[in-house]
Amino acid sequence: MDFGLMFKLFLVSLLGKILIAEGLACNWGTRATHPLPPDIVAKLMKDNGIKKVKLFEVVPEVMKALGNTGIEVMVGIPNELLAPLASSVRVAEDWVSQNVSTYISKNGVDVRYVAIGNEPFLKTYKDMFSQTIYPALENIQAALIKAGLGRQVKVTIPINADVYQSESGMPSGGNFRPDIHDLMISIVKFLNDNGGPLTINIYPFLSLYADPHFPVDYAFFDGASAPVVDGAITYTNVFEANYDTLIWALEKNGFPNMPIIVGEVGWPTDGDINANKEYARRFNQGLINRINKGIGTPKRPSPPDIYLFALIDEDAKSVQPGNFERHWGIFYYDGSIKYPLDLGNNRNLTAAKGVRYLSRKWCVMRPDADLSDSNLPQSINNACTYADCTSLGYGSSCGGLDVRNNASYAFNMFYQTTNQQKGSCDQFYNLSVITAIDPTPVRDSSCRFEIMIDTGRHEQARTPTTSLAGRMYYYNSVLTLEFLLGLILASFC
């Protein structure tokens, strides 16, 4: 026995595990009313050993903050840009020049992938992007080659797991949906020919959310109470079964070695009865353990790159398909830690540093206000129309509050969202008052009465998406002109 060779193999294996443990990847979304300054987020990622990040759109301040950090970047192209990019190679060349080449050459951003569109084949889109996704893919690839980036930057398309299915219900029955089968094969072939991976988003939480009879343990990596037997393979979790369904689909269509990235996978902490910190910690710790140990799936023992969804909560994100959409972060909106996670190599989560907040003031229901006041329901509704009240829903972290605390939570979220603007706590028919005493219920520490980040006090704070009005667009309601003017004026104060 060659002990020298065995020792070398051991060292290679050990080094590989160390590199994997230090190579975490995440999604960084920026749809927040009070976003963390990008330089603080970049430092947050470095402090937690996150080496790769996926962005959903190009935000100049975010890209600049990632420059010379050593963090590998996947930049996203929103679906609404697919049509113009598909219409002309010149449009694609301009996009690549402005959003990729410039940041690589001038800011030292390590761009590795361009993600074209985001889940463009969702059935809810009703084929809205089916005609533009492939020509946009071709044009961006051509533009990258012309810019001299064809080898450094690869194209990909993030797709939802609903692009494939199995009539047998087993992974081995996997194939692409009939309505998009030929298009998917064309996309896979194009990516394969150009060295680009296929990016897939897998959400075990949504399986549990959509089906009340779904076996809970099967959603997690440590559960074994509801195994699925597929020939010689036994699946104990939905992630592996889902991923291998895609592998079977690729194999059946002639792409057994197609590289794959898991672009999104995670678990939310609020907004649904199954979205809580206990379940999120259980799932994400199991996921990180797999990454650190280099565990793949039965059909693909070699692990893919996995981008955890998500880094930080986004309080201005759309709430479709549910209120949990604003609570996927492993960190709260301000970069504080939600729950402990062992990152491997004796490393635990590290909170964001240098975060500054608005004054320690809250807007709450007046102690002498009458709970039977006819204006109270409308006041709560108005507050939650313009602020994030998703934590108040059934089964959520603040879902058990009494009427008075429920109103106080709504009033305070409105007050904080408007930057504690003078007069913003006076919008509720004399039912509210400002207090310097933290109203967070002691009996339930999971329900947080927030104080927002003071973005104006950070020198490197990024300009909100287009404008304050642009940020508020992401709420599912239309702002009144009076309220909008108030917000704009407040942004200059």
Active site residues: 119, 264
Phi and psi (nearest 5°) for 471?
Answer: -65, -45
Q: How far apart are CA 477 and CA 459, in angstroms?
A: 31
Structure tokens at 449: 């009465």
Residues 14-35, buried b or exposed e (16+ Cβ, 10 A)?
eeeeeebbebbbbbbbbbbbbb
Q: Which residue type sits at 94?
A: D
SS3 of residue 207 by DSSP = helix
Q: Cβ neighbours of residue 33 under 8 Å, at least 6 residues apart? A: 315, 316, 388, 417, 452, 471, 472
Find out whether 75 and 369 touch, Cβ atoms under 8 Å: no
What are 200's strand-pairing partners?
A: 159, 262
Q: How far apart are CA 412 and CA 429, in angstroms?
A: 15
For every residue of 264-324, DSSP letters joined together read EE---SSSBTTBSHHHHHHHHHHHHHHHHHT---SS--SPPEEEES-SB--TTS---S-GG
Find out whether 45 and 351 touch, Cβ atoms under 8 Å: no
Structure tokens at 150: 């064809």
> 242: closest CA among 174, 320, 140?
174
CB atoms closer than 10 angstroms to residue 228: 17
> 258: closest CA among 210, 302, 293, 224?
302
Q: How far apart are CA 307 and CA 411, in angstroms?
A: 36
Find out whether 136 and 82 touch, Cβ atoms under 8 Å: yes
Ordered alpha helix ranges (H), 88-146: 89-96, 102-107, 133-146
Phi and psi (nearest 5°) for 111?
Answer: -80, 125
Q: Is 445 exposed, middle or buried (0-12, 13-18, 19+ CB in 10 A)?
A: exposed
Structure tokens at 130: 């089916």
Q: What is the 3-state secondary structure (H, E, C) of 220-274?
A: CCCCCCCCEEECCEEECCHHHHHHHHHHHHHHHCCCCCCCEEEEEECCCCCCECC
